[in-house]
Amino acid sequence: MDFDYSWSGLGRFCVAAVDALGLDRFHLVVHDIGGPVGFELAAAMPDRIATVTVLNTLVVVDTFKRPWSMEPFARRRIGEVYLRTLSKPAFRTLMRLQGIEDIKAVPRAELDAYVDLLRMGDRGRAFLRIMRGFERTVDKRRLYLGVLGDGRYPVQVVWGAKDPALTLAVHGEIARRAAGLEEIHALPAKHFPQEDQAPAVAEHVARLAAG
């Protein structure tokens, strides 16, 4: 449990993984907490980034407040109980409310896998450390804004327009302005557009990569 689960630590792990895989150039897609982690990666090796696609994530992290569905995990003791008692039916309900617009498009087994993965191996301790390792500082905000406005690689913003937590009007617009874009590619999805709008997400990524 000595691993650094902060955004900085996870970013360093990603840098090491890219080096180990021998990736000279790659297309980066970031989502949710993977946004700050991906921005750490891009900041460390900008010349190896081919394109960046931003899905529902946070950029101005110093003022970010966790949504109600995320906050309990960040509280000590409460988070442990919350995760231990989170049933698969309850998680499906949570995803229906917050995460997925077309819940019928996602097999139940795939939804249930989220719960299994959160607890796998260590009963969720690593996940809770990630949730408590947010680096909500002005320096990180400046770093992530700089990644999106770098100019050395194309950036696009693809957003689940019905996300009740990281809204298009606030968080999507922050990402759009940071990247200097004229538009956001809005999808009829909530927080997890890659679940029920996977073909549309893939199309946008492929189009940017080809361009």
pLDDT for 115: 96
Contacts of 210 (CB under 8 A, 6+ apart): none
Q: Which of 1, 41, 7, 27 is nearest to 131 (CA)?
A: 7
In this structure, are residues 40 and 11 in contact, taking their beta carbons and an 8 Å threshold? Answer: yes
Tell me if 166 sits within 8 A of 108, measured CB to CB: no
pLDDT range class, residue 211, cuts 50, 70, 90: confident
What SS3 class is residue 56?
strand
- Pull the structure tokens for residue 198: 């996977």
Per residue in 41-52, pLDDT tens?
999 999 999 999
Number of separate helices (H) and strands (E) present in the chain = 11, 4
Return the CATH superfamily for domain 7-210: Alpha/Beta hydrolase fold, catalytic domain (3.40.50.1820)
Sequence-ordered alpha helix ranges (H) in 33-77:
34-44, 71-74
Instruction: Look over the chain and give the mean of its residue pLDDT values, rounded to a whole number.
Output: 97
Domain range annotation of the chain: 7-210
The pLDDT, as a whole number, for residue 1 is 57
Q: Enter the tokens of residue 46.
A: 């900008």
**Each residue of 20-32: pLDDT tens digit?**
999 999 999 999 9
d(CA 197, CA 195): 6
The four Cα atoms 102, 107, 109, 112 give a dihedral, to 10 degrees, of 0
**The three-state (H, E, C) secondary structure of 94-138, written as one string:** HHHHHHCCCHHHCCHHHHHHHHHHHHCCCCCHHHHHHHCCCCCCH
Which residue's entry shows tokens 């180990």?
20
- Write out pLDDT tens, residues 164-174: 999 999 999 99
